[in-house]
Amino acid sequence: MEESPHTGNAAEPQQKSSAFAGLSTPIYGLFALGILYTLYVAHQIVLPIVLAVLASLFLSPFVHRAYLKFRIPKAVSSLFLVLLVLAGIVGVGAAVTTPALEWAQKAPQGISRLLVGDSQIKRQIDKVNRSAEQVEKSVEGLSDSGQEKPKTVVLATDSWRSQMVSKVRDGVAGLALALALTYFLLVSGDRLIRNFARQLPNPQRRTVLRITYYSQVEIAQYLAVLGVSNTSVGVLTALICWA
């Protein structure tokens, strides 16, 4: 009995769909890895945006309260809060910079005392040096027997000071971008949400606005509790170390 052509054509799409179903999981995995790699490459732009969104969610209730109770324009209150955050960051940086620089200056001396003194680390380093000298002598013996002497390759690397300066420069640029985006979101964030909600039907518009408002309040409360707890732990740790 001959097989009808319709039966063969119906079986081919089923086989193709089963083959693609088996490849769906690896494709999703590659897609996720691609997203993670893109975020890693673009972290200098993505990280300030994330920080700006979190900071705007944390500060937006204060801006709303100042506008409703005292009729302070959002541009003025947002600018004041952003400058307050900047002053706090500059104050913490100024308090931490001096001890960090002193530690960086004393670190080479401490490391040299650790290595020069009679310790287990020095004995291990001496053992490695003796092994390296034996390997060098054996290589020199081979080169004297007629073989070509290996060439020494020296790699030029940046010092830790230049690397630190570049990191600080990137951090300052990211902080400036985050503060600028925070100010923009505090001033015009509600307007953007309302413009988006106008594109929806009336019942859905109210639901979206209500969900957005309660989400901002809950996230702001969560960030406030998290900030207070982390600050308390940091202050207690600093007092214990100082004592």
> 150: which 2 tokens?
């290996």
Cα 106 → chain centroid: 29
The pLDDT-based confidence of 123 (bands split at 50, 70, 90) is confident
Any idea how long the chain is? 243
CA distances in angstroms from 70 to 29, 79, 84, listed in the order given: 52, 16, 19
Distance separating alpha carbons of residues 213 and 3, to the nearest angstrom: 64
> Inter-axis angle of helices 43-70 and 5-41, to 10 degrees?
80
DSSP code at position 119: S
Phi, psi of 150 (to 5 degrees): -65, 145
Q: Coil, helix or strand for 227?
A: helix
Task: With beta carbons less than 8 A apart as the criterion, state whether 77 and 190 touch.
Answer: no
Q: pLDDT for 10-28, tens place per residue?
A: 555 555 555 555 556 678 8
Q: pLDDT for 172-219, tens place per residue?
A: 889 999 999 999 998 988 788 788 778 878 778 888 888 888 887 888
DSSP code at position 200: S
pTM: 0.63
CA distances in angstroms from 27 to 22, 34, 35, listed in the order given: 10, 10, 12
Task: With beta carbons less than 8 A apart as the criterion, state whether 44 and 170 touch.
Answer: yes
